[in-house]
Structure 1
């Protein structure tokens, strides 16, 4: 059973897995992983016949994802996976039912860059579609992070990240005209970092 689950879902983000178990994305057919890395969050969608797309700035990562997707070329051909930037996605408006952004937005250089990435992803989601985000925040560790400028902070784990807080996420939600289909949820990892799940519907 454990091996079957691993084959079906791979190393999927557990909070994305939670949404799948809840059936949130049952009516979605086209999925973009924006900043897909090596594809840890696309294995299930590929195997389940979704039209899967991926964009990443790393040529090596895209090569890896293309290899992962090769057996599923009928629904997700190789040209669906391309080198590119999240802030400049090479897709038409309102193309996707679901956009996944897992551990990407906290690499923003500053507020402007964050907004560019967010708006680019939002642009390609169809009305009624979903944005799934996991990103670093200062929620629960605000007194432990040190600002280093442009919205970026030094975390107790030694990393540097662009951090959001709940007020910011609610403000972005309103500005996008979006709705939260799940409450904002945060995992505090031994006061070293906090990762927040932000689930929107267009």
Structure 2
């Protein structure tokens, strides 16, 4: 398979999300929501393989592009599955998705309240037993090189992000009734930023 063929099949998918696919943790029967989908870089594999795919993003231009891609290449996927909106106020019924993806989205939260509102809403639409995939900027390993800007932090790479911490991860699991599917992974990049990946299972029994 050539690089071009591989890119056509996978798109620019998050490697840690691809890892879950390769581990057979995301069977083709699941209903997928990408919360903060952009132009759909994490959805190409799912579209190519007949998953029931949905996406929401606040950027109307990105949604128009994703609708165009879907309409041009995946006629079985309704363009209406890809909508403009906020992840902390989504128009979906309760417990209607088997997988919710949040890749490089929650670290744009301006404050703690907005972060938790997004988590709460993603949890609402995820069925018990479903998977929540979160990848976002973290504080781990950067404690002495960041500076607060409100409830966000300025990073050495020049960006300003809301940072997930070990205490937030613990609170997320305890307060929203999640169990880790596998260990949390944090990658420190030249001490300029750290990206953390959470792969969580929503427990069957509601708190």
Q: What's 1:117 paired with?
A: 118
Report the alpha carbon displacement of residue 167 of structure 1 after superposing the two structures with TM: 2.3
1:88 partner SS: coil
Q: What's 1:166 paired with?
A: 166
Q: Summarize deviations over 1:91-138 as a string: whole Å, max 9, x none.
A: 000010101000000011111110000110110011111110100011
Instruction: Tell me the distance in 2 between the aligned counterparts of 1:142 and 1:27.
Output: 40
Instruction: Tell me the distance in 2 between the aligned counterparts of 1:136 and 1:73.
Output: 35
Q: Segments of 4+ in structure 1 off by > 2 A?
A: none
Report the alpha carbon displacement of residue 27 of structure 1 after superposing the two structures with TM: 5.7
Instruction: Tell me the distance in 2 between the aligned counterparts of 1:31 and 1:172.
Output: 21
Q: What's 1:83 paired with?
A: 84
Q: Which runs of 5+ in 2 are unaligned?
A: 203-207
Instruction: Tell me the distance in 2 between the aligned counterparts of 1:163 and 1:43.
Output: 28
Q: What's 1:155 paired with?
A: 155
Instruction: Tell me the distance in 2 between the aligned counterparts of 1:41 and 1:132.
Output: 12
Residues 1-202 of structure 1 correspond to what in structure 2 (within 5 A)? 1=1, 2-26=3-27, 28-70=29-71, 71-74=73-76, 76-150=77-151, 152-202=152-202
The question of whether the paired residues in 2 share the 8 Å contact of 1:134 and 1:196 is answered with yes
The question of whether the paired residues in 2 share the 8 Å contact of 1:28 and 1:98 is answered with no
Report the alpha carbon displacement of residue 28 of structure 1 after superposing the two structures with TM: 4.4
The question of whether the paired residues in 1 share the 8 Å contact of 2:33 and 2:54 is answered with yes
Q: Which runs of 5+ in 1 are unaligned?
A: none
Give the length in aligned residue pairs.
200
Q: Summarize deviations over 1:62-104 as a string: whole Å, max 9, x none.
A: 0111112122232x20110111000001100001010100000
CA RMSD of aligned residues (A): 1.1
Q: TM-score, normalised by structure 2?
A: 0.94
Report the alpha carbon displacement of residue 142 of structure 1 after superposing the two structures with TM: 1.2
Judge which range, 141-150 or 113-122, deviates more.
Answer: 141-150
